[in-house]
């Protein structure tokens, strides 16, 4: 189930129009982080989840940057990886992880647009 959620989290935005970390991408990223916390709560290990995330990054790199969701470049990959690592390294409720991610993502997106 987690793999399906992960795949849909990455595939759906590729089908829709690509944007530079918009509010929509932050919301979708927050959903992804919430689902990572839920996966953790259901027994998925840090190593397993991050291993699949890294595999997804390899796949996403095969698309042109304008067609990518959230991870448009190496900085975005590092950011999302760090957010996922925090889910496993500093556990909170899935909703709290999502809320914290949304705040950080919105601040980051604002800096990127400046």
Mean pLDDT by 10 residues, the chain (114 residues): 53 44 87 98 98 95 86 92 98 98 90 46
* Phi and psi at residue 22, to the nearest 5°: -80, 175
Query: Residue 17: its pLDDT value, please?
Result: 41
Query: Residue 1: its pLDDT value, please?
Result: 56
Cβ–Cβ under 8 Å, residues 83 and 73: no
Residue ranges per structural domain of the chain: 2-113
DSSP 55: H
Interatomic CA distance for residues 49 and 31, integer angstroms = 15
Interatomic CA distance for residues 59 and 71, integer angstroms = 11
């Amino acid at each position: 189930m987690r793999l399906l959620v992960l795949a849909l989290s990455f595939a759906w935005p590729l089908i829709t129009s690509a944007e530079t970390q918009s509010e929509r991408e932050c919301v979708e990223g927050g959903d992804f982080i919430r689902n990572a916390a839920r996966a953790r709560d259901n027994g998925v290990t840090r190593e397993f989840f991050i291993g699949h995330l890294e595999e997804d990054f390899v796949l996403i790199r095969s698309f042109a940057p304008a067609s990518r969701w959230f991870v448009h470049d190496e900085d975005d990959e590092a950011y999302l990886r760090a957010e996922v690592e925090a889910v496993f390294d500093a556990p909170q409720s899935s909703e709290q992880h999502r809320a914290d991610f949304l705040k950080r993502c919105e601040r980051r997106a604002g800096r990127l647009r400046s």
